[in-house]
Structure 1
Amino acid sequence: MSEHLTAVAETTKLARVLGITDPTELDFLVDLPPAAIRAYRERVTDRLFDRDTKRLKGIAAASKIVPVALSAKMAERAFGPVLCAAVASAVEPQRALDIAKNLTPTFLAECAVQLDPRRTADIIAAVPPTMVTDVARELLSRGDHITMGRFVHVVPEPALRAAAPVMSDPDLLRIGFLLEDKTAIDNVLHIVADRVAGIIRSAYDQNMWAEGIDLLDSIAPHNRAWIGDITAGLGGEVLDALITAVAELDAWATLLPITSAMSEHSLRLFAQRPAVHDQTNLAAIMDAALDGGQWVNLLPLASQLPTEQRAFIATRVADQTDERLRELIDQAHTAGLWSTLIPLAHALEPHARARVAERARELGLDDEAGELELIAAL
């Protein structure tokens, strides 16, 4: 699922480079590896920028002998945003910045659309926060989240903080989806921490769950707990909508790491939602757990489910071979999750419960083994 959403984001950015106004025209590419789409986009960008390298260097050299104010006037009136963006990477960063300070936010925004952040990162990093804010405001007035997302990872934190207030919660969600470097999402979350609830609610209000789920998939492990708790605190309707979207996108492998990091109270709220109890959803959850490497992330949720749903999960577990069951037990043990495995083991049929007890005793967990053996004997 994450690969699919990343591919959608990549085709959206590729459409911009190719001059295609409707990104859905490239939907035939979304089954390709996102890295391949990105590599193609970067090759196209390189081809566009490198085709006139000699001439662009000549223009850049000539700009050194022209006063800054005159260079800015020529850039805006004669060269235009496309040529200026192409020349920018050949101009010394300080010179480029001095010229940029004499340009209007409207023209700077038009240039930003054409810039390649790989070539102009030094310039972007030196742009004053007020200029970043003015350009961000101009881009957002055009609904241009693509350009915003492409530059977030090279914009320093002070500038991001200055620009954040001009971005609405849906803007932030859309920009996060289109980030050029997804590792930047955690820094953005740090900057707008007080707005995370609003960002998640905007996914609900505007049916932007694909973007919201992509956000959950992109955050670092240390951010999962507080974001999961915030999500749970938004109420049953939001949780139900999230669960429905996750089911439609087959994104349980994204959601289970979040639920496993939730506080016990938040996890209990999540586990109480009727949508989680649906057998189709439970089957998909078990597929993600048993086949998708999410077993240890399932256990905290399983321990909070009602008896009937826990029994459904236990039946799937009991169907595993002795070797596979042993692997699952060992994974839970390594993760320190016996406290969540025991309630699930209680729901197992006697023979499977005895197998769990046997492995527990082999691991030196005599108390846990004794409890399971006693229940199995009843």
Structure 2
Amino acid sequence: MSDHLAAVAETTKLARVLGLDDPTDLDFLVDLPPAALREYRERVTDLLFDRDAQRMKAIATASAIVPVAISSKIAERAFGPILCAAVASAVEPRRAVDIAKNLTPAFLAEAAVQLDPRRTAAIIAAVPATMVADVARQLLSRGDHITMGRFVHVIPEPALRAAAPVMSDPDLLRIGFLLEDKTALDHVLHIVADRVPGIIRAAHDQQMWAEGIDLLDNIAPHNRAWIGDITAGLGDDVLDSLIAAVAELDAWTTLLPITSAMSPDSLRRFAQRPAIHDEHILTAIIDATATHDLWPQALPLVDAALTTDTPDTVWHTLIQLRDHIPADLLTRLADHARELGHDHHATRLEPLGTATT
């Protein structure tokens, strides 16, 4: 599941590099490994930047002897955003920022679209927070989440905090999905922690559960509990649409580690949803669990579902799929059935050759 979503994000960014207006034109690539797609995108980017590298260095060298104010005028009036972006990596970072301070946010946003964060990270890191916010506002007014996502990991925290208010909750979801470096996700969540309920609600309201599930798939283990509890507290409509989306995307390997980290009350609320007691969904959960050996993550949800008011479908599905369940877990489930007074289920769950009492 995570590879599929990562591949979708990669083809979205690749479409930008190739000049395609519709990323779905590259849907035929989404079954390829995300790492391969990223490597290809970076090679294409390198080819575009390196073909005129010497000329760009010469332009940067010449600009160094021109006063900043004049360089800024030349940049905006003569060079344009594409050429400025190509030259930027060859300019000393402090001077590049000084020139940028004299350019309009609209021009900087157009140039940012063309920048390669691998080559300009030092420049981006030195841009004042207010400028970052102004450029972010320009980019988001155009719906450009790709550029935002590509630079988040090199933007210092003060600048991210300045830019966060100009991003709506759906913006944050989309930017998170397109992050160039997913390890930056937990840092971003720390900055916008008070907005996490709104971000999750946006996944429901805006039908953006693919982006929401990708977020859940990439957060660090220490963030699973509080985000899981927030999700469970947003109401049955959110839980029901999350379950439906996970079932449609076959993303149980993403959701089970989240549910296993929930508090008992949140897990109980989740396990009580009627969809969790649907035979098809239960079968998908157990199949995913068996295939990926996720029993430690799945058992808390199974246990919670068995203690609801309507556990029969859960018992019947477990019995039907008992061949997929390890013998030690069958024994555990059989013991649990007896504790709950379901001796008839216990007998059918016990591993073959186990004496009944």
Normalising by structure 1, report the TM-score.
0.88
Name the CA distance, whole Å, in 2 between partners of 1:20 and 1:221: 36
Distance 2:247 2:161 in 1: 35
Q: Deviations over 1:74-117 (max 9, x none)?
A: 00110011111111111111111111111110111011000000
Q: Within 2, Cα distance between the matches of 1:129 and 1:313?
A: 55
> Counterpart in 2 of 1:147?
147
Q: Which position in structure 2 is the counterpart of 1:267?
A: 267
Taking a change above 3 Å as real, the CA distance of residues 341 and 214 of structure 1, as seen in their structure-2 partners, is farther
Opposite residue 325 of structure 1, the aligned amino acid is A
Matches within 5 A, 1:53-64: 53-64=53-64
2:316 maps to which of 294, 312, 319: 312
Alignment of 1:192-203 (within 5 A): 192-203=192-203
Query: Offset at 1:65?
Result: 0.2
Does residue 350 in structure 1 map to residue 347 in structure 2? Answer: yes
SS of equivalent to 1:247: helix
Letter of the 2:235 counterpart: G
Instruction: Give the C-alpha shift of residue 313 in structure 1.
Output: 4.6
Counterpart for residue 367 of structure 1: none
Distance (Å, rounded) in 1 between the aligned partners of 2:348 and 2:26: 53
Q: Structure 1 residue 288: deviation in Å? A: 1.1
Matches within 5 A, 1:261-340: 261-306=261-306, 307-316=311-320, 318-320=322-324, 324-326=326-328
Deviation for aligned residue 1:309:
3.4
Q: Summarize the Cα distance change of 1:89–1:344 in structure 2 as closer, same or farther, 3 Å threshold.
A: farther
* Contact preservation (8 Å) 2:322, 2:349: yes
After superposition, the C-alpha distances for 1:14-66 in whole angstroms (9 at most, x for unaligned) are 00001000111111111111111111100000000000011011001001100
Equivalent positions of 1:95-114 (< 5 A) are: 95-114=95-114
Report whether the alignment pairs 1:121 with 2:118: no
Number of equivalences: 349
Map 1:12-23; keep pairs closer than 5 Å: 12-23=12-23
Q: % of aligned pairs identical?
A: 70
Query: Quick check: 1:259–1:301 contact (8 Å CA) kept in 2?
Result: yes
Q: Give the whole-Å Cα distance in 1 for the aligned partners of 2:313 and 2:124.
A: 53
- Superposed CA deviations along residues 227-282 of structure 1, whole A, max 9, x for unmatched, are 00000001011100000000000001100000000000000000000111110000
Q: Secondary structure at the match of 1:291?
A: helix
Letter aligned with residue 343 of structure 1: H
State the partner residue of 1:370: none
Distance of aligned partners of 1:255 and 1:344 in 2 relative to their CA distance in 1, 3 Å threshold:
farther
Q: Displacement, 1:292?
A: 1.6
Maintained 8 Å contact 2:279/2:317: no
- Helix, strand or coil at the partner of 2:224: helix
Q: Give the Cα–Cα distance (whole angstroms) in 2 for the partners of residues 258 and 119 of structure 1.
A: 36
Conserved? CA contact 1:149–1:179, under 8 Å = yes
Partner residue, 1:36: 36
Q: Is the 8 A contact 2:319 2:349 kept in 1?
A: no
Contact 2:277 2:314 in 1 (8 A): no
User: Which amino acid in structure 2 is aligned with residue 218 of structure 1?
Assistant: N
Structure 2 residue 136 is matched with structure 1 residue 136 = yes
The alpha carbon displacement at 1:317 in A equals: 5.9
The residue that corresponds to 1:212 in the other structure is 212
Q: What secondary structure, in the 3-state scheme, does the structure 2 residue paired with 1:15 have?
A: helix
Residue 305 of structure 1 deviates from its aligned partner by: 0.8
Aligned-partner SS, 1:103: coil
Change (3 A) 1:69 1:344: farther
8 Å CA contact 1:15–1:26 kept in 2: the answer is: yes
CA distance in 2, matches of 1:119, 1:46: 10
Partner of 2:230: 230
CA 1:231–1:351: 2 relative to 1, 3 Å: closer
Residue of structure 2 in register with 1:334 after alignment: none
- Tell me the SS of whatever aligns to 2:179: coil
| Separation in 2, partners of 1:287, 1:320 | 7
The answer to whether the aligner puts 1:246 opposite 2:258 as a matched pair is: no
Aligned partners of 1:271 and 1:44: how far apart in 2? 47
CA distance in 2, matches of 1:105, 1:325: 64
Alignment partners' CA distance in 2, 1:236 and 1:118: 43
CA drift of 1:192 comes to: 0.5
Distance 1:284 1:65, change over 3 A: same
Please give the per-residue CA displacement for 1:170-205, whole angstroms capped at 9, x wherever unaligned: 000000010001111100100000000000101111
- In structure 1, runs of 5+ residues without a counterpart are 331-337, 359-372
Alpha-carbon distance between aligned partners in 2 of 1:253 and 1:312, rounded to the nearest angstrom: 22
**Cα deviation, residue 298, structure 1:** 0.6
Deviation for aligned residue 1:303: 0.7
